Amino acid sequence: MMAARQSDPRAMPPAAPGVDLFCRVIDNYGDIGVCWRLACCLHHDHGCPVRLWVDDLRAFQHLCRAIDPGLSTQIHAGIEVIHWSGSTPDLEPHEMVIEAFACDPPSHHIARMPGHSKLWLNLEYLATEEWAAGCHGMESPQPDGQRKFFFFPGFLPGTGGVLREQTLTQQRQDWQSNPAQVRRWLAGLLPHDETARALIEQPQLQIVTLFCYPDAPVAELLQALGRLPGQMLLLVPERVMLPALPGAMASNLHLARIPFLPQPEYDRLLWSADLNLVRGEDSFVRALLAGQPMLWQAYRQDDEAHLAKVEGWLRQTRAPETIRQAWLAWNRPADTGTVDLLEQGLRCANRARWHTFFQDFSTYLDGQHDLASALLAFYYKQTGLSG
Ligand code: TRH
């Protein structure tokens, strides 16, 4: 038997830096969705102690059912969750302070930060346009001379990458390699819908998932899907508000409500479907990582900046024209023609071109650095410490 090697403490790598992650829930689920996922990646993949400060625990509870909105501090999955309310505890800041989406952490926390081993970052929204790489990592000068940096998640080299757990691809492959398990799991989401459960047994059934904003042209989407060949099951999580829909639905289409799922289960849903319609930021990335054909609805902004995001992604990725037309029709519905454009696009969604394109893009993402690793690399570079 080999003798246990004596470890030289001087040769040990430094402990992973602790992280304070601040999150304000503005609306929807994206703010807390991104922050919870980032907290999990930093802790589970890299061993960072993480404190997640959240101002709205009820929104958080939808993504992680174990959260108790009545507690001021609690620990889940090894992460300390602090209810960020008027009276925040005065704690010694961790090495890295990340404020999500310029949410303005308490000044007393920042005031206690200075020191060569500390770093303050503003994690920005996902950027799809060319300018993102130029702004990523830039310093944001502060009146008191403190050092703060912009950190831009993105798809292109030169940005901070996207959130991707280290075991994600393996988990997805395991899930997709067991169709019987997938069918059983889907049926379990639909205990009161006999029609849907019977459909799930049909081998040729196409599964479509829908997560969109209330202004999405859903009636047009249903018409377009109704014109396509084959039987389809459209799964819509609770809490996803749909616009008013026509009473009658095409005979090849069945719409079913499923529960709003905890984050890891929502991934499984995306992995189980033939076509995913997603919205916002986090579910967009998750659907891309699922590698299945998809349509994205960007979060609407006043000056139509959301359309620039959609165009930016389509341009950067040189998406095929049918994808481009369908995505633009979904994001910019016109009074007429939307159904035709969606139909033309979606006719191709179950063909090889879309499959290959989205599979290739998920493989490309697998080869890129992920956001949590990029944040740590940035920390070590700025502080001069080594990871
Ligand atoms: O909820 P969103 O519309 O969030 C948006 C965007 O992030 C937008 O950029 C931001 O400015 C705005 O909020 C304030 O979409 P998003 O980003 O996809 O977040 C949804 C989260 O909910 C994501 O983490 C996936 C998760 N989710 C589940 O966990 N279970 C579900 O059943 C569903 C439908 C979603």
Compute CA distances 258 → 66, 197, 239, 261, 304, whole Å. 20, 12, 10, 8, 31
Q: What is the CATH number of domain 168-366?
A: 3.40.50.2000
For the chain, the structural domain boundaries read 16-164+369-382, 168-366
Compute, in angstroms, the gap from residue 283 CA to the centroid of ligand 1: 6
Q: Where are the beta strands (DSSP E) in 185-230?
A: 206-210
Nearest CA to ligand 1 atom 5: 30
What's the 280 CA to ligand 1 centre distance in angstroms?
A: 6
Rg of the chain on CA atoms, in Å: 22
Would you call 377 exposed, middle or buried from its count of C-beta atoms within 10 A (0-12, 13-18, 19+)?
middle
Q: Does the beta carbon of 206 lie inside 6 Å of ligand 1?
A: no
Enter the pTM of the model.
0.94
How many whole angstroms from 33 Cα to the centroid of ligand 1? 6
CA distance 164 to 142: 31
How far is residue 271's CA from residue 172's CA, in Å, rounded to a whole number?
A: 7
Residue 357 Cβ inside 6 Å of ligand 1? The answer reads: no
Q: Which helix (H) or strand (E) holds 267?
A: helix 263-272
Instruction: Kindly report, residue by residue over 133-157, the tens digit of the pLDDT.
Output: 999 999 998 877 788 999 999 998 8
Per-residue pLDDT for the chain (387 aa), expressed as one digit of tens each?
A: 333 334 444 445 568 999 999 999 999 999 999 999 999 999 999 999 999 999 999 999 999 999 999 999 999 999 999 999 977 788 899 999 999 999 999 988 888 887 767 899 999 999 999 999 999 999 998 877 788 999 999 998 899 999 999 999 999 999 999 999 999 999 999 999 999 999 999 999 999 999 999 999 999 999 999 999 999 999 999 999 998 887 889 999 999 999 999 999 999 999 999 999 999 999 999 999 999 999 999 999 988 999 999 999 999 999 999 999 999 999 998 888 999 999 999 988 777 889 999 999 999 999 999 999 999 999 999 988 776
Query: Rounded to whole angstroms, how far apart are CA atoms 98 and 325?
Result: 37
Using CA atoms, how far apart are residues 263 and 261, in angstroms rounded to an integer? 6
37 CA: nearest ligand 1 atom: 24
Residue 297 is inside which H or E element, if any?
Answer: strand 294-297
Q: Percentage of residues in the chain with pLDDT exceeding 70?
A: 96
Place of tokens 């899930």: 175
**Ligand 1 and 49: CB distance under 6 A:** no
Distance between CA 196 and CA 366 in Å, rounded? 34
| Spatial separation of the C-alpha atoms in residues 101 and 365, rounded to whole Å | 23
Q: Is 28 left (phi over 0), alpha (psi -120 to 50) or beta?
A: left
Tell me, in angstroms, the distance from the centre of ligand 1 to residue 114's CA: 34
**Cα–Cα distance, 221 to 329 (Å, whole number):** 10
- The distance of Cα 83 from the centroid of its chain, to the nearest Å, equals 22
Pocket test for ligand 1, best of 24, 25, 26, 28 (most atoms within 8 A of CB): 28
AA identity, residue 205: L
93 CB within 6 A, ligand 1? no
Ligand 1 pocket residue status of 125, Cβ below 6 Å: yes
* Alpha carbons 76 and 78: distance in angstroms, whole number: 5
From the list 361, 219, 187, the residue with the least C-alpha distance to 284 is 361
Identity of residue 131 = W
